[in-house]
Amino acid sequence: MLTQISIFIIAIAFAVLVIFLIKTLKAAQGSLDKVTLTLQDVQKTVDELSYEVKQTVRHANDITADVDHKLKQIEPVMESVKNLGEVLSEVTLAAKQASTALMTRFQKPHNTADRPLTATERTVQSYNATYEEPAAKSAKNWLSYVDIAASLWQKMRQ
More confident residue, 92 or 23: 23
- Per residue in 83-131, pLDDT (tens digit) is 888 888 888 888 888 888 887 777 755 554 567 778 778 777 777 777 6
- 69/106 Cα distance (integer angstroms): 56
- 158/148 Cα distance (integer angstroms): 16
For the chain, the structural domain boundaries read 7-96
Instruction: State the pTM of this model.
Output: 0.38
- 47/113 Cα distance (integer angstroms): 93
| Confidence (pLDDT) at 140 | 57
- 133/141 Cα distance (integer angstroms): 13
Mean pLDDT of 72-87: 86
* Amino acid, res. 29: Q
| Confidence (pLDDT) at 127 | 72
% of the chain surpassing 90 pLDDT:
39
Mean pLDDT of 133-151: 65
Q: Is the pLDDT of residue 158 over 80?
A: no
How many C-beta atoms lie closer than 10 Å to residue 90's C-beta? 13
Mean pLDDT, the chain, rounded, equals 83
| Dihedral over Cα of 75, 76, 81, 86: its sign | positive
